[in-house]
Amino acid sequence: MRFIIVAVLFLAGCASTTPNFILAPQVFISQSNQLQQSRFAFNVSDQRGVPYTLRLRTDDKVQQLKASNDIRAHLEQTLAQALSAQGAVLDSNSNTQMTVKIAQLQALVEQRTLEHAVTNQVALTVSIQTPQGSFSKTYSGDSSFNAPFKMDVAAVERELRVLTEQVLVQLLQDTSWQNAIRN
């Protein structure tokens, strides 16, 4: 009986574990008055057709992993802070609505015998509805890298986070949606 317990514990220790994948981008925008006098409702919605953030392909096996944290809520909080720093007043009762839709946010990993290749894809769409009309624009970015041996989850997290931050800065610095909010 003791042998069976030891064997089960040994096999459980050898089993591969599912890695935690955390994506927590930050944006550091200096305070400004770019959006001063702008009052609008704001939210982030996850419109991805696929529920995973990391897809790992090894030979003919595919493993799809969701992020361990709530990416939608994290992006909403990060963007709300950045918009407020630019002078915006976020008011859920406003007639003007800004929605940032997560269209794509994923890391695709191809694991080979002695190396792995990673492709990151991020696409965020800003949609603005006002009594005067609507506005929509997509901000996106891609990145890729190859590295030796087995995938390092921390490296993949870091590269996807950096790409997401670059797309967020691109979005926040674009004046076209800001003009649509003000009009």
To which residue do tokens 């030891």 refer?
6
Query: Helix, strand, or coil here: 133?
Result: strand
List pLDDT tens digits, range 5-62. 545 445 444 445 556 889 999 998 878 888 988 999 999 999 998 879 999 999 889 9
* Poorest-pLDDT segment among 26-30, 102-106, 128-132: 26-30
Q: What pLDDT, on a 0 to 100 scale, did the predictor assign at position 12?
A: 47
| Domain residue ranges of the chain, discontinuous segments joined by + | 39-182
Cα dihedral value 134, 138, 139, 142, nearest 10: 170
For the domain with range 39-182, which CATH number is right: 3.90.1310.10, 3.40.50.10610, 3.40.630.10, 3.30.360.10?
3.40.50.10610
1 confidence band (pLDDT: 50, 70, 90)? low
Average pLDDT over all residues of the chain: 89
Q: What pLDDT, on a 0 to 100 scale, did the predictor assign at position 4?
A: 57
Q: Which residues pair with 3 in a beta bridge?
A: none
Label each residue of 135-157 as H, E or C: EEEEEEEEEEEEEECCCCHHHHH
Instruction: Specify the DSSP class assigned to residue 129.
Output: E
The amino acid at residue 104 is: Q
Would you mind telling me the total number of residues written for the chain in this entry?
183
pTM: 0.86
